[in-house]
Every structure is written in C-alpha cells, then in structure tokens.
Structure 1
Amino acid sequence: MKHYIGILLILFTIIAKGQTKKEIKQTLESIKSQEDFKKYKSQNSDSIIEFIELNTLNSGISKKLLGLKKGEIKKIKIENGNYYYKLIDSSKETEYRASYIYLNADELTKKEIDSIRPIIIKKYKSGVLFTDLVDEYNMDGNSKKGDLGWFKKGKLVPDFEKAVIEHNESDIFTVDVDNSDKYWMQNWYYVVLKTHKDRISEIRTYIRIKKQ
C-alpha cells in the first residue's frame, strides 16, 4: 500500500533489567531530549527505555500523563505493569485530514485519467458518497475507504500535502504528483476530498522505563 500513509506513535525500545527506583530516576533525569535518548540507547544496549510521541486529541491517554509537567518524573501504573515517565517536550501542531481516490498511470493513460476525474467529481457533487466512489474507482490498497487519518505537515508527498493544506473542508479537487519532482519518480494522480476542518493538537513527547 505504497500510497497509504498512516500515523501518530513513535516507539523505540531497548531492554532493561533490574534497575532500582533510584537508578531509573537518575537515568530519566539524565535524558532531556530525543538526542540524549538516542545517545543513551546507543551506549546502553542492556537497558529498557522507550521514546513515545502522543497526540493529546487521541482518546485513551491517561490523565496522569496529561498532567505531567516538562521535566517531571512520575510512576504510572498501566495494565501490563508499572512505568516511570518523564515529559521532555510539548508542542502545538496543525493537523489536516483528507480522503483520496488514486488513479494508476501504469494502467490508465493520462487522457483516460483526465476523463475519469471530472466524472468522479460530478458524481460526488450530485450526492454520491465519496466512500462509494473510492470503492468504485480507487486503484491502490487503502483499506480505509481512502481516509488518510490526521496528519501534520511534512508527513506526506509535498505536492499532495500542499494541495490539502491550501483547501478548505468539503473541497473536492485533483492533485498530480509527477516525476518532475526530484524526490519522486512516479506519476500519481488523485481526486481528493478534504473531509475535516484543520485542527490544532498538542504533541507530547515522553521517555519511559518499565519497572521490572
């Protein structure tokens, strides 16, 4: 599913055994950034430590986690054990959401694509559900009815992302990503529906160690 981009948890794991409470806190106190985490991980292959990014708009995040202040360390019980968490960063991000129909230039000529896309748009504007149009026309393996989920700037192909950002909720439009872009060696053609208003989310970055 090369066209489906999904996302918002980053998790790196290394294994830890038998650290005392004091040692765990000393380790967490020594790590103040992602760069510190990477350095520590590279030098301590026998430790368990995790780097996690969480979007506060996603459901299921512990209120205790949301209550942590930057630099604060707290023991929090999760279903599968006790963890020590430290909040190392928090930032605001604008997120976007859209659904798409991909038309494959390996199977269709550009002329055929240019004739199909107006038909799709006309059907949508006449009341056909976009999800039904995805079922009828989409030519990649996205199993979520073309839905990309929420994404922030820098996560998608630049031309596609730019078009989504510049449109408003409920806009339907076309996007061409061709091999004139030095970063991409494909010809990708889309009909895109911007399904939601842009939203501001808080991304909170934690490191954590499980108490063994």
Structure 2
Amino acid sequence: MFKFLLSTLIFLSVSIVFAQDNFEKSLDSVQTLDDVTIFFEKNKKAKGKVIVFNKVKHHTRMAEAIFGMRVGAKKSFSDAPQKTYYKVIEKYKIPYYKVSVVFLDGNKKSIDEINAIRKKVMAKYREGYMFTDLASQYSMDETAKRGGDMGWFKEGDLHPEFEKPIVNGNYVADDIFTIDIPEIKAYYVVVMTQEQQLIDEVKVLKVTEPRK
C-alpha cells in the first residue's frame, strides 16, 4: 500500500513538473502579439492579457523592473497559490501631448457667448493670469476641477478633431489657441502645457499559470 501511495505521489509530482515545463515552454515561444493569441488558444485555462506600462504614468517597483527587461524576457511573481508571469512583447517610444483647456458647451451657450468668453480668457492669459485659475472659473466640464489639465495623451486617445491641431500645429509650450468641434458643439481654449515628448512604453503579456 505504501509503495502504491509513494508511486502515485511521484507520478503526480512528475506530472506537475512536466505540465509546468510545457507551460513555460509555450510561454517562451511567445514573441509577438499574434503569438499571444496562439498561446491562449493552446492554454485555454490560462488567465491573462496584454497590458501597457508607460514610463510617465507608472512608477511602481514592478514597472521599473519591467522597463529594465529586454524584449522576450519574462519574470515571474509568486502570487500564492498561483504564479504570475510578465513577458515583454514590445518596447518602443511614442509621442505624447499635454494640454490644459477651457471647455465651453455649445448646448448651453450661443456661439456669440462662447466667442466672448474665449476672447476674455485668452486676453487674461496673455496679461499674466494663471490658466489653471481661468479654467477653474470658466470651463464647463470636470476639467475645471483640475485647472483644465487633460493629462498626457497620445494620438487616438481623444476626439480626432481635438487632436488634429495639437498634433499638427507645431505649437510650443505656453502657446494658446482655440479648437472648434461644431458637430458635437464642443469649443475650447487650449494651452500647450508641455511640448511633445517621446515616452517609453512596454507591452507585456501578464499571464497566471493555470491551477493543476
């Protein structure tokens, strides 16, 4: 009886190690985003997704460790009772933009009222008023609470008609200008708070090893 139990235990241990080896080999084969799809088709019990780490937005120890890894490298974290792997799929730099705005709602004000407010905001800014104060006073959406700050964004994150003049306008920090999006009745005064920056990003496959 003891020999049978011992044999069974050894068999189970070997099976688990073999399964772990197969899982890691399958994970090692992942080199591209297309490979990620194939990986999950072969490992249906595995739970995971591709996530993006941004050098400006993410400052955790884990993010620092991942930015230090080469493409194709993987790192495991022991999240009991299951192990979680992070594998670097892509590393690249991408242009990001940072602006602050005064948003004016065309559903609530006429175009004449909007233009009068924008003229006043731009004049006060050029006189030396802080744009954060002007946004807090005049902006008509939640950005007013942040002094107009839109945060860092990349092309494709926001409405294309909002992004277009920012991406293509060759503006420098502290430049002030207007943007109109009549089809959604959105009107803006915009200040470039920082010039375009190329920011490091990493695409990582985060996957938890399936339970045995």
Provide TM-score, normalisation by structure 2. Answer: 0.77
Change (3 A) 1:195 1:28: same
1:98-113 aligned at under 5 Å gives the runs: 98-113=99-114
Name which of 187, 190, 210 aligns with 1:189. Answer: 187
Change (3 A) 1:202 1:77: farther
> 1:79 Cα deviation (Å)?
11
Question: Do 2:96 and 2:153's aligned partners in 1 also have CA atoms closer than 8 Å?
Answer: yes
Question: Do 1:64 and 1:76's aligned partners in 2 also have CA atoms closer than 8 Å?
Answer: no
> 1:137 Cα deviation (Å)?
0.8
Aligned identity (percent) is: 28
**Deviation digits for residues 88-135 of structure 1, max 9, x if unmatched?**
111111111001111000111111111110101111122222111112
CA distance in 1, matches of 2:139, 2:84: 44
> 1:153 Cα deviation (Å)?
1.7
Question: Do 1:28 and 1:207's aligned partners in 2 also have CA atoms closer than 8 Å?
Answer: no
1:29-178 aligned at under 5 Å gives the runs: 29-38=28-37, 40-41=39-40, 46-57=45-56, 58-62=58-62, 63-76=64-77, 83-142=84-143, 143-165=145-167, 166=169, 167-178=171-182
Which moves more between the two structures, 189-198 or 136-145?
Answer: 136-145
Provide TM-score, normalisation by structure 1. Answer: 0.77
Structure ID, larger Rg: 2
CA distance in 1, matches of 2:45, 2:77: 23
CA distance in 1, matches of 2:123, 2:113: 16
Name which of 184, 199, 202 aligns with 1:201. Answer: 199
Question: Do 2:104 and 2:140's aligned partners in 1 also have CA atoms closer than 8 Å?
Answer: yes
**Secondary structure at 2:151 match in 1:** coil
Question: Do 2:27 and 2:39's aligned partners in 1 also have CA atoms closer than 8 Å?
Answer: no
Q: How many residue pairs end up in the alignment?
A: 189
Which moves more between the two structures, 29-38 or 131-140?
Answer: 29-38
CA distance in 1, matches of 2:48, 2:40: 8
Alpha-carbon RMSD across the aligned residues, in angstroms, is: 2.7
Structure 1 portions without partners, runs of 5+: 1-17, 180-185
**Secondary structure at 1:96 match in 2:** strand
